Amino acid sequence: MKYLKTKVNLPIECHTIGHFTSDIPWIHEQRTMDSYELIIGVNETLFLETNNIKYEVKPGQILLLPAHTLHSGYATCNPGISFYYFHFHCNNEVKFVDEDTLNNEVIKFRSYADVKRSDVRRMDSNIYIPMFSTPKYLERINILFNQLFHVDKASYFSHYGVDYLATSILIELSEQVFMNYNSTPDSIHTRIATILEWIRIHSTSNDISLQTIAKKFNYNKDYLSRVFKKEVGLTIIEYINLQKINKAKDLLMSTDKNVDAIAYVIGIRDAKYFMKLFKKYMKLTPTEFRQSYYLKNMNSGAL
């Protein structure tokens, strides 16, 4: 696996943002561009080849295309092919590093054990973007992408809003790379990380609760509640609710589903309770939130 390494003490310069769709069979043209391109699969499979490597970008997968490198479609995509994308230039030096180099960077990062995590983050402005990946927390990236679409189409006086939002997407991707590196295999941090991942996967279930999670991982529910709150800074119920709300935000911005349908998808059978919960966490109703991000650049045909 290769990673793009650069600093983000200055934002990237972002341009040509969109959501590509095609209702007919389609193949990506052959071309070389002077900018990097980030692609997120939404529907069907995108077939792209670059540097003699063939990629199948499925829904939820992310491909980074290097600048000044030939890329082209090597197979025809099915009708319904859909993906998000944006092009960007970096304002700092770019390097491509391998897995071993990244591992060394992680070890160096972890070596600041006596420094608060927030202080360590301020000491390092490097990000690491995988060339091809399947992020665990795709909802976060989709939400940022939809915000990017909206700001780009809103024609703000300053273009820095677009640049900073695109930079935030790259930072989120980089952070999710670092999330894969745990400290001690038997530490409480690792066990909590396992529970967090289980909650993320099952957050849309209508019967997920402190009791079901404690039973699943063989913990006393009172003990689990205390440890979880200490490690995560949220109660388990708060964390479950946030996962549901994040999924709802993604659906509100990326689909035309009504509020009742979205509540059902995220595992809440009472639409009125869902609206109350959403307002509590977002300070907006679901409808107000959707209307805040209604602008979107849709492309059909050649990019």
Q: What is the CATH number of the domain that holds 92?
A: 2.60.120.10
> Which residue has tokens 């689909």?
255
* % the chain with pLDDT above 70: 87
Query: Cα separation of 167 and 32, whole Å?
Result: 23
Confidence of residue 236 (pLDDT cuts 50, 70, 90): very high
Statement to judge: residues 203 and 153 lie in one domain: no
pLDDT at 91: 94
| Interatomic CA distance for residues 273 and 281, integer angstroms | 12
CA pair distance 231, 226, nearest whole angstrom: 9
Tell whether 45 is covered by a domain.
yes
Q: Are residues 126 and 192 in the same domain?
A: no
Mean pLDDT (whole number) for 272-299: 83
Q: Is residue 162 part of a domain?
A: yes
* Predicted TM-score of the model (pTM): 0.70
CB 8 within 8 A of CB 109: no
Structural domain contains residue 147: yes
Q: Are residues 54 and 175 in the same domain?
A: yes
- Do both 212 and 164 map to the same domain? no
Residues 177, 199 within the same domain: no
Domain ranges, residue 155: 3-181
Out of 166, 181, 196, a domain closes at 181
159 and 130 inside one domain: yes
Q: Are residues 154 and 237 in the same domain?
A: no
Average pLDDT across the chain, whole number: 86
Give domain status of residue 38, yes or no.
Answer: yes
Is residue 100 domain-shared with residue 174, that is, in the same domain? Answer: yes
Q: Are 288 and 196 found together in one domain? A: yes
Residue 26 counted as domain residue: yes
pLDDT exceeds cutoff 80 at 232: yes
Q: Which CATH number does the domain housing residue 261 bear?
A: 1.10.10.60
Cβ proximity of 251 and 262 under 8 Å: yes
Q: Is residue 170 part of a domain?
A: yes
My answer on whether 24 and 130 are in the same domain is yes
- What backbone torsions phi and psi does residue 238 show, to the nearest 5 degrees? -60, -40
The total of structural domains in the chain comes to 2
Q: What is the pLDDT of residues 88-133, one digit of tens each?
A: 999 999 999 998 888 877 766 655 543 444 444 455 689 999 999 9
Q: Is residue 300 part of a domain?
A: no
User: What does the block give as tokens for 197?
Assistant: 């991942």
142 & 13 share domain: yes
User: Do 259 and 206 fall within a single domain?
Assistant: yes
